[in-house]
Chain A
Amino acid sequence: MEMETRPTKVGVLPCSGESEPEGTITRNAVRLVMEKYRPGLVVSLCLPLYLAGDGGERDFAKKVPVIAVDGCPKSCARLATEKYSGPVEASIDVRALLEQWGVTESLSRSHPGPIEDELAERVAREIVRLVDGLVEEGKVEVANV
């Protein structure tokens, strides 16, 4: 009889889009989650590599719960995951979040400053909230978060 094993990682797939400042925020927020907030638990997936079909990214995304982090409603990260690996566990639309937070400042995609950094921190904390939710639901096996 085969034992069912729960995944020990959460995959996070940012759009990291070049065309909009929110893409840069997704990129930086996911790095914060990986390096600062939930190191060892979260694995980032490289969307260009994922789309190219190399590097085992698609197979990995089939085995772990995936959170898609998109910069805008085009939802490149979520739609790519659904196409190649199956449904995502959760998704974030950063632009919608910024609207919800009342952010009206003009943002830079190439030179993030204090405002962009702060927004990346806030988005990172949103991702952490979703990651912790998956842990609480028992979808990920983890000793200590």
Chain B
Amino acid sequence: MTDKDTRPDAADVVVLPCSGLDKEAGSASRELALRLQERGAALVCPVLYQRSPKRYEKPLSSGRLVVIDGCKTGCASKLAAERGLKLTDRLNVSEAARSRGVKPGKDPHLGAALEELLPSMVDELLEVRAPEDRAAAASELFAAPVEYREFGVDKFVFRVPVAGYFFNENDCWARVAGGRARVGVSDYVQQSASDMVFFEPPAVGAEVSIFDEVGSLETTKTALDIISPVSGKVVAVNAEVVEAPELINQDPYERGWAVELELTDFDSDRELLMDSAAYFEYLQGKAAREHEELYGG
């Protein structure tokens, strides 16, 4: 099974490339713009825009403008500045390529090395959203229904999401979407620790590294820290859980999330985490061992 592509589309993006004809980076800027257009972006022709600006009035007034320059001359940026356009972001293909170890060529042929980088540049441009846009996009993705698998040990039944969640060995999860992650504790934790009575959240704005404490819980029989599976900045805490910690018992993977983070290095974090399937197996073993220790098999 392949993961669903949850990358944001480009329906609200307006792209103004330089489309230069002189150098490879100009050709790449054009190709990037066309790829964004395939994802739903509105494309502004830098030449026609100068001749017929009215043609682009509507998209430019309603979308997020992304400017793509091929080289340091910055023709597209200059055009945007001359016309007083408000940019959401800009990408300089030459700089972006060099930062990835590729030096664009002097002739206009788009070579394989630079072409290989284009998908990551498209992703980068689509990730560059205003904070409120990112939050809205992530909230939408976090609202998607979750499918579960479950297994039983004696009288206990433990649930684990089928996909889309990442776990550490502290039984804390991260649900990742659109550059953000919601973090909480697993069904196993809430059943083992009993009724939640208090949630102490971290400060919004706090910088968190993977495996740092990101809030604490008190239950009727113990206290425990939430160990963050991801690195990032705390951008929200779940006020519903602060008010009613029992939500974690009722719905640990969805309404019972604890904090939301803006991710800073998920690619690295992911290497240290278990995906849903791996955690399911891990938890089966762990629950069986604990049951054996407590009740002798």
Interface residues of A (CB under 8 A from B): 14-19, 23, 27, 30-31, 44-49, 51-52, 54-55, 74, 76-77, 79-80, 109-110
- Which residues from 46 to 66 on chain B have a C-beta closer than 8 Å to any C-beta of chain A? 46-48, 50-52, 55
Binds A, one of B14-22, B93-101, B135-143, B258-266: B14-22
In the complex the two chains form, is B50's CB within 8 Å of A51's CB?
Answer: yes
In the complex the two chains form, is A110's CB within 8 Å of B51's CB?
Answer: no
Interface pairs (9), CB distance under 8 Å:
A16-B19, A16-B21, A18-B33, A46-B22, A47-B21, A47-B47, A49-B20, A49-B75, A76-B47
Q: How far is the CB of B108 from chain A (nearest CB, A)?
A: 6
The residue on A at minimum CB distance from B73 is A54
Residues of chain B contacted by A49 (CB below 8 angstroms): 18, 20-22, 73, 75
From B21, B33, B55, B78, A44 is in contact (CB under 8 Å) with: B21
- Which residues from 1 to 58 on chain B have a C-beta closer than 8 Å to any C-beta of chain A? 17-22, 26, 30, 33-34, 37-38, 43-48, 50-52, 55
In the complex the two chains form, is B45's CB within 8 Å of A23's CB?
Answer: yes
In the complex the two chains form, is A19's CB within 8 Å of B51's CB?
Answer: no
Residues of chain A contacted by B19 (CB below 8 angstroms): 16, 18, 48
Measured in the bound complex, the distance between the Cα atoms of B78 and A19 in whole Å is: 20
Interface band, chain B: 20 to 34
Residues of chain A contacted by B227 (CB below 8 angstroms): none
Given the known A-B contacts A14-B21, A18-B30, are A48 and B75 also in contact in the complex, defined by CB atoms under 8 Å? yes
In the complex the two chains form, is A19's CB within 8 Å of B43's CB?
Answer: yes
Is B79 an interface residue, CB under 8 A from the partner?
yes
Is B234 an interface residue, CB under 8 A from the partner?
no
In the complex the two chains form, is A16's CB within 8 Å of B79's CB?
Answer: no
Measured in the bound complex, the distance between the Cα atoms of B22 and A27 in whole Å is: 11
Is B76 an interface residue, CB under 8 A from the partner?
yes
Residues of chain A contacted by B21 (CB below 8 angstroms): 14, 16, 27, 30, 44-49
From B17, B51, B73, B76, A76 is in contact (CB under 8 Å) with: B51
Residues of chain B contacted by A23 (CB below 8 angstroms): 45
From B45, B78, B108, A17 is in contact (CB under 8 Å) with: B45
Q: How far is the CB of B46 from chain A (nearest CB, A)?
A: 5
In the complex the two chains form, is B48's CB within 8 Å of A17's CB?
Answer: yes
Residues of chain B contacted by A19 (CB below 8 angstroms): 43, 45, 48, 55
The residue on A at minimum CB distance from B20 is A46
Residues of chain A contacted by B51 (CB below 8 angstroms): 74, 76, 79
Measured in the bound complex, the distance between the Cα atoms of B47 and A19 in whole Å is: 9
In the complex the two chains form, is B47's CB within 8 Å of A17's CB?
Answer: yes
